Amino acid sequence: MDRIADIWGPRTPHTPGAAWPVRVDQHLEEGLTESDVDRWVQSACVLCSNGCACDVAVKDGRMVGVRGRAEDVVNRGRLGPKGLYGSWQWSDTDRLTRPLVRENGKLVETDWDTAMDLVVRRSKELLNEVGPLSHGFYTSGQLFLEEYYTLAVIGKAGLGTPHMDGNTRLCTATAAAALKETFGADGQPGTYTDIDVCDALFLFGHNMAETQTVLWSRVLDRLEGPDRPVLVAVDPRETKVAQHADVHLAPLPGTNQALMNGLVRELITRGWVDHEYVKAHTIGFAELKQTVEPYTPEHVAEVCRIDANDLRRAAELFGTKDRVVSTVLQGFYQSHQATAASCQVNNLHLLRGMIGSPGRGVLQMNGQPTAQNTRETGADGDLPGFRNWSNPQHIEQLARLWNVEPLTIPHWAPPTHAMQIWRYAEQGTIRFLWISGTNPAVSLPELSRVRAILRQENLFVVAQDGFRTETTELADVVLPAALWGEKHGTFTNATRTVHLSEQAVEPPGEARSDLDIFLDYARRMDFHDKDGDVLIKWKDAEGAFDAWRECSRGRPCDYSDLSYERLRGGSGIPWGTERLYGDHRFPTDPDYCEDYGHDLLTGATTTPEQYRAKQPGGRAFLKAAEYVPGPEQPSAEYPFVCTTGRTVYHFHTRTKTGRSRRLRDAAPEPWVEVSAEDAAELGVAQGDVVRVESERGAVEVSVRIGRCRQGVVFLPFHYGYWDTDSDEHDRAANELTATRWDPVSKQPVFKVSSVRITKREG
Ligand SMILES: Nc1nc2c(c(=O)[nH]1)N[C@H]1C(S)=C(S)[C@@H](COP(=O)(O)OP(=O)(O)OC[C@H]3O[C@@H](n4cnc5c(=O)[nH]c(N)nc54)[C@H](O)[C@@H]3O)O[C@H]1N2
Ligand SMILES: Nc1nc2c(c(=O)[nH]1)N[C@H]1C(S)=C(S)[C@@H](COP(=O)(O)OP(=O)(O)OC[C@H]3O[C@@H](n4cnc5c(=O)[nH]c(N)nc54)[C@H](O)[C@@H]3O)O[C@H]1N2
Ligand code: SF4
Ligand SMILES: [Mo]
């Protein structure tokens, strides 16, 4: 089995609606066979939001392989290249094994007491001098639920700071925002079994073939089986998804909202609307109809530079097929009108009443494996349990649960989003920044700025990771974290399926789980509830999970009937029902909803009074917005539209996949994709090194010809500097990107910047 060459593995087609057949993928360390394995430990892969269930092979206390779990609903045994070759192979490499502290400018090893004393001393000093607003936390979509919940309670009830968010802001903030705007609360409506029965599948800005390879195998099994569904791809590049599509719409990056308004308009003008459904279950049709009126196919074709007839064909497929599934991801989420465009996908489904039944559903996708939990537990600029920061009853509930005064819990404004946290750090109001499970020195936009912020004298930076990274190198204290396989916890995939990941091996050296680190901080900080008892009453992962079950009780993401025991053995289990909204009642009731919504164009919040006046009563919102051109347009100086994203062989900043020989060798160096026409005009050939420059920075990478439409170039964002010897900052795509975000979700605009390209001589 070679999942580098054969990424998706052999086909297992089935008739529509039949269960997806089992195919078990396995990979063991070279030279080992199954009989060498001491034991198999249950887990699920953390290298994307699909969350494929797997068992980890252990021999002599080391991880030596993985095998997909046949009984699991998510993958039925399959694993992709990252799951097979990236999930554990990093474990015996250059890990962080002891805490580091900065002394005379250099990071030096120390013991836990010294490192934590330093963290706690700085924390207490700042609390006394300035108060909780001096503290910011920037966490991840890759820890476990138990760790996020513990962190959320520390931040909200222990310290009382609103400055906590995750890299989920860069990842799935728009998924959450679009679900809140339309349905009143986060929570994935659809489920993967919808793919097994649908008649049409629309992928909006989602390169599933490379980014959720096992899910794409599921799609391929339908595409190559009987009664093939039609496929529509919306992506400016000719990805594998686009190559399989019946209709490929390749809008210019940054024009999604025009395209979507065009699709919505076609549905309305061609009469493909279920008016009874719209009347009974939605609010806002008249305004939506009026807003999309100018977006004729010809007008959209001009803005997006596509063929008007392709738009018509795509709309017809959406309008006439019986069972339609849509997925949405970064091509939509990392744009200047991200939430607006993603809401239009929800609108298409609502207009046809196409939600909540088999084969009919929306998947506002996640990216990171545990991003769902960052959102659920409120470690990300939300409140735990999808509670509404501007609903005093929800604050009361949390205050009662944690036994603290409601005023302790910051709720005078929305929790601070990540881009603002970095701004406060830059301005010097945040002076203590604790980064866990993310590598912002490669993954945030405008890296020269990020490095400058991290280097500031008056900012105390704690970085918690399993490896030395571009970010740890700029920290004041580095805490060595146990990683996947070295700790217990649960996490929830893009379709709400919860998996238990058991500890397979001991962490290296003195590394500790994030949970233990957060608990240690809480203990040393001496956080109390209002009766003087310790605030955080749990001591281990299962205790944290049980506390979370109580916190989530009665909310949309209700985990109260799940337990470690139920999650052991068998398949992962979704919270809620298999698919949501089968009863067509949406969580929009003012007392229950997670958010009162925003103006999609400006991001202005709806007040509680305005919201109540709409009397949503369980109906969904059809939200509308006109298209506005992006803030950065190509110019004479910077003539190309640059977009960024992923390759199948690497995960993000490659801290794991870059340490797996097979994956590293499959894509060792960064590149830029350029259309054949543009390459000819620039006088560059495949493999030539070019300089790609924006207003903010430059990279030097080699050319790959193809996949992009003319005028558009693509860079993978995976390549930073930890595995180079050079001091130059000339590889990372985010040297080029700008500090800008969507007004509603606050997700950065990674997908559009303007660049120029020159051939490097010599
Ligand atoms: N191999 C691999 N898989 C991963 C990850 C990884 O790093 N590597 N990361 C995981 C994570 S955290 C995430 S968030 C997901 C992301 O998964 P995807 O969203 O599928 O990945 P991206 O490559 O970021 O972007 C998807 C596509 O958006 C297109 N695009 C760019 N601009 C536009 C635009 O303006 N409009 C439209 N319609 N499309 C546009 C790009 O051409 C690209 O093909 O992947 C997950 N899976
Ligand atoms: N230009 C551009 N930039 C982008 C994107 C893009 O498409 N284009 N995509 C954005 C998106 S969607 C995402 S999700 C981000 C990802 O950006 P990052 O989150 O910065 O990327 P990772 O490399 O996954 O960083 C995770 C870090 O956590 C560490 N880690 C892993 N597991 C654990 C754990 O259990 N505990 C601790 N403490 N550490 C752990 C890893 O070693 C790694 O250093 O990048 C964003 N940036
Ligand atoms: S599809 Fe995602 S979760 Fe599944 S094996 Fe691949 S990286 Fe892991
Ligand atoms: Mo992501």
Residue 508 is assigned to a structural domain of this protein:
yes
One domain for residues 86 and 180: no
Residue 223 is assigned to a structural domain of this protein:
yes
The residue whose CA is least distant from atom 17 of ligand 1 is: 211
User: Which of 148, 145, 142 shows the shortest CA–CA distance to 164?
Assistant: 148
How many structural domains does the chain have? Answer: 4
One domain for residues 656 and 605: no
Residue 631 is assigned to a structural domain of this protein:
no
Residue 492 structure tokens: 């929830």
For residue 649, pLDDT beyond 70: yes
CB 376 within 8 A of CB 557: yes
The residue whose CA is least distant from atom 3 of ligand 1 is: 211
> What gap in Å lies between CA 468 and CA 479, rounded to an integer?
10
One domain for residues 324 and 424: no
Output the pLDDT for position 726.
Answer: 86
One domain for residues 672 and 604: no
User: Which of 491, 533, 231, 229 shows the shortest CA–CA distance to 370?
Assistant: 491
How far does residue 455's CA lie from ligand 4's centre (Å)? 25
One domain for residues 159 and 242: no
Helix axis angle for 112-129 and 514-525, nearest 10°, is 50
Query: How confident is the model over 9-25, as pLDDT tens digits?
Result: 999 999 999 999 999 99
One domain for residues 233 and 337: yes
One domain for residues 390 and 284: no
Q: Which residues, including other chains, have CB under 8 Å from residue 400's CB and lie 6 or more apart?
A: none
Residue 109 is assigned to a structural domain of this protein:
no
Output the pLDDT for position 762.
Answer: 62
Name residue 141's amino acid. G
Residue range(s) defining the domain that contains residue 680: 640-759
Output the pLDDT for position 381.
Answer: 85
Number of Cβ within a 10 Å radius of residue 284? 19
Number of Cβ within a 10 Å radius of residue 437? 25
One domain for residues 88 and 135: no
Q: Which helix (H) or strand (E) holds 461?
A: strand 460-465
Output the pLDDT for position 526.
Answer: 98
Name residue 459's amino acid. L
One domain for residues 230 and 123: no
Q: Is 80 in the pocket of ligand 3 (CB under 6 A)?
A: yes
Q: What is the 3-state secondary structure (H, E, C) of 522-578?
A: HHHHCCECCCCCECCCCCCHHHHHHHHHHHHCCCCCCCCCCCHHHHCCCCCEECCCC
Number of Cβ within a 10 Å radius of residue 496? 24
Which listed ligand is nearest to 66 at the C-alpha? 3
> What gap in Å lies between CA 394 and CA 409, rounded to an integer?
11
Alpha helices by DSSP H, 224-337: 240-244, 256-269, 275-281, 285-292, 297-304, 308-320, 330-333
Average confidence (pLDDT) over 151-159: 98
* CA end-to-end distance (rounded Å), the chain: 41
Residue 560 is assigned to a structural domain of this protein:
no
How far does residue 86's CA lie from ligand 3's centre (Å)? 10
pLDDT confidence tier of residue 486, bands split at 50, 70 and 90: very high
Say which CATH number the domain at 503 has.
Answer: 3.40.50.740
For residue 123, pLDDT beyond 80: yes
Residue linked to tokens 């996908």: 345
User: Could you tell me which residues are beta bridge partners of residue 234?
Assistant: 204, 249
Say which CATH number the domain at 722 has.
Answer: 2.40.40.20
pLDDT mean across residues, the chain: 98
pLDDT confidence tier of residue 652, bands split at 50, 70 and 90: very high
pLDDT confidence tier of residue 615, bands split at 50, 70 and 90: very high
Output the pLDDT for position 646.
Answer: 98
Give phi and psi for 457, each to the nearest 5. -55, -45
Query: How confident is the model over 30-58, as pLDDT tens digits?
Result: 999 999 999 999 999 999 999 999 999 99
Q: Which helix (H) or strand (E) holds 449?
A: helix 447-455
Closest ligand 3 atom to Cα of 493: 3
The residue whose CA is least distant from atom 25 of ligand 2 is: 438
Say which CATH number the domain at 351 has.
Answer: 3.40.228.10
Query: How confident is the model over 413-460, as pLDDT tens digits?
Result: 999 999 999 999 999 999 999 999 999 999 999 999 999 999 999 999
One domain for residues 450 and 335: no
User: Which of 17, 118, 34 shows the shortest CA–CA distance to 461?
Assistant: 118
Residue 566 is assigned to a structural domain of this protein:
no
One domain for residues 242 and 321: yes
Query: How confident is the model over 588-606, as pLDDT tens digits?
Result: 999 999 999 999 999 999 9
Average confidence (pLDDT) over 664-692: 98
